[in-house]
């Protein structure tokens, strides 16, 4: 793209002077991928006419082609001295400076030509994380799924998040949010006693803060302390009656404790608040099945198998349906569901606890 732009631009700038003849020769060498020849011709052009911006820009471009970014910078600077608005020179020097680690110097050049991807990367380097996220998000919208973009966007978002948390911890170390942030870190590290302590302190400071009970409940669930997990999820559900996740987590804890009858309304509520979440549908079917509500179980699992085709949850739903039908004496349907389950099992990696 840059190359084509350069050629078109240079075509419009060509003259009859000797210097321009060397520029023309350089462009011919470029077509033949003879980079060293290219460099020699452009250099001659700059020696003959030290004020020919085109020659300097082309010389810089040739070095860029050779990945010799260090050598590219000087002629590109000269090109911009001679022609300060030369877009290609701005773009190339922006890339060259960025490649050489001079992100701060690269940014004005990249900004001038709207090279958002490179600009975003340069902004990560200079710590302008918010701007980097904006620029990278804009490019990702045009090129969704690009792995490099996804990486840089994730990286910059993570750094932005870390910066915010570091600032929070530095400026408000005794705040509820600071304790929550610490607790979340401990939770990720599976250091449950420390996580529990920080969440409890956060709750002591701001008991009304949404999400704290939910996360503390997760700590207890991970530690196998299900009655405590239930208590926290229940507190969150009370605090946020519109939270589908709180209802889902509460239902899950109740289910783990063998209280299927109590779990069922919570999971129903979760599904009403946020319909067709596969995890909720699966747990709803499970609770209903354990509670003897065959119709609800069947409906939830059938809906799940409509929504999900090749996932482990879909396999689980087929397995649940097989058991349900088997108990009802519906042998053919049970066999069909078991076949679907086995089919999926053979395509999905077999679940296995590593620990």
Partner 1 sequence: MLRRLTRRNFLNLTALAAGAPIFELKPLRGIDFVLQNSPTPRKFLIETMPGGVALFDYNNDGLLDIFLVNGGRITEALRVPENFARSDPRYWNRLYRQNRDGSFTDVTQAAGLANAGNGNYGMGVAVGDYDNDGYPDLYVTNYGRNILYHNNGDGTFTDVTAKAGVAAGGWSVSAGFLDYDNDGHLDLFVTRYMDWDADHNKICGGDWRTYCPPGAFPATTSVLYRNRGDGTFEDVSERAGITAKKQRALGVAFADYDGDGFTDIFVSNDGMQQFLFRNNGDGTFTECALESGAGLTADGKGLSGMGTVFQDYDNDGRPDVLVTVLPRENYTLFHNDGGGLFSYQSLESGLGALTSLSSGWGVGLEDFDNDGWKDLFVAQSHVLDNVQQIDASLRYKDVPLLALNNHGRFERADSGVTTPWAARGAAFGDINNDGWMDVVVSTLGGPPALLLNRRGSGSHWLSITLRGTRSNRDGYGARVSVNAQTRFATSAGSYVCANDRRLHFGLGTADRATVEILWPSGARQVLKDVRADQFLEAREPERS
Query: Does 315 interact with partner 1 (rule: CB under 8 A)?
Result: yes
Q: Minimal CA–CA distance to 99: which of 75, 125, 79, 80?
A: 125
Q: Is 346 a residue that touches partner 1 (CB under 8 A)?
A: no
- Residue 305 as a binder of partner 1 (CB under 8 A): the answer is no
Q: Where are the beta strands (DSSP E) in 17-104?
A: none
Secondary structure of 33-47 in HEC code, one letter for each residue? CCHHHHHHHHHHHHH
Is 77 in contact with 110 (CB distance < 8 Å)?
no
Structure tokens at 190: 């599976």
Site for partner 1 in 155-214 (CB under 8 A): 189-192
Out of 69, 95, 226, 325, the only residue in the binding site for partner 1 (CB under 8 A) is: 226
Q: Given the complex with partner 1, which of 180 and 289 has the nearer CB atom?
A: 289
Considering only the stretches 40-48, 98-106, 169-177, 315-323, report the one whose residues sit in contact with partner 1 under the rule CB under 8 A.
Answer: 315-323
**Is 149 near partner 1 (CB under 8 A)?**
no
Q: Is residue 160 a contact partner of residue 133, using CB atoms and an 8 Å limit?
A: yes
Question: According to the binding rule CB under 8 A, does residue 341 interact with partner 1?
Answer: yes
Per-residue tokens: 138: 């804009």
165 or 323: whose CB is closer to partner 1?
Answer: 323
Size of the site for partner 1 (CB under 8 A): 34
Q: How far is CA 305 from CA 227, 299, 334, 335, 346, in A?
A: 32, 10, 15, 16, 17
Check residue 327 for interaction with partner 1 (CB under 8 A).
yes
Q: How far apart are CA 157 and CA 149, in angstroms?
A: 12
Instruction: Verify binding: residue 318, partner 1, rule CB under 8 A.
Output: yes
Q: Give the residues lining the site for partner 1 (CB under 8 A).
A: 189-192, 222-224, 226-227, 255-258, 260, 286, 289-290, 315-316, 318-320, 323, 326-327, 338, 341, 345, 350-355
């Amino acid at each position: 793209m840059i190359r084509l732009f350069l050629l078109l631009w240079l075509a419009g700038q060509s003259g009859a002077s000797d210097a321009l003849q060397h520029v023309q020769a350089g462009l011919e060498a470029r077509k033949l991928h003879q980079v060293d020849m290219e460099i020699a011709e452009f250099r001659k052009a700059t020696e003959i006419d030290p004020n020919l911006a085109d020659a300097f820009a082309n010389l810089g471009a040739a070095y860029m082609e050779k990945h010799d970014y260090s050598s590219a910078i000087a002629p590109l600077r000269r090109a911009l001295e001679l022609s300060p608005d030369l877009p290609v020179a701005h773009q190339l020097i922006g890339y060259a400076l960025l490649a050489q680690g001079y992100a701060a110097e690269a940014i004005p050049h990249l900004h001038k030509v709207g090279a958002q991807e490179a600009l975003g990367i340069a902004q990560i380097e200079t710590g302008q994380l918010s701007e980097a996220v904006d620029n990278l998000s804009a490019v990702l919208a045009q090129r969704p799924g690009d792995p490099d973009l996804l990486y840089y966007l994730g990286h910059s978002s993570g750094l932005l998040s870390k910066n915010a948390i570091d600032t929070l911890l530095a400026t408000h170390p005794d705040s509820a949010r600071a304790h929550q942030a610490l607790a979340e870190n401990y939770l990720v590290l599976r250091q449950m006693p420390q996580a529990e302590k920080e969440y409890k302190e956060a709750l002591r400071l701001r008991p009304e803060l949404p999400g704290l009970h939910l996360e503390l409940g997760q700590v207890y669930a991970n530690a196998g302390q299900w009655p405590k997990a239930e208590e926290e999820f229940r507190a969150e559900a009370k605090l946020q009656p519109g939270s589908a996740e709180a209802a889902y987590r509460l239902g899950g804890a109740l289910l783990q404790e063998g209280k299927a009858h109590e779990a069922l309304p919570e999971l129903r509520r979760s599904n009403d608040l946020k319909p067709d979440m596969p995890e909720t549908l699966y747990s709803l079917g499970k609770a209903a099945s354990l509670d003897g509500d065959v119709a609800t179980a069947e409906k939830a699992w059938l809906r799940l198998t409509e929504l999900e085709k090749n996932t482990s949850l879909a396999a689980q739903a087929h397995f649940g349906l097989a058991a349900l039908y088997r108990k009802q004496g519906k042998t053919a349907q049970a066999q069909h569901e078991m076949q679907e389950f086995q089919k999926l099992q053979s395509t999905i990696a077999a679940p296995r606890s590593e620990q």
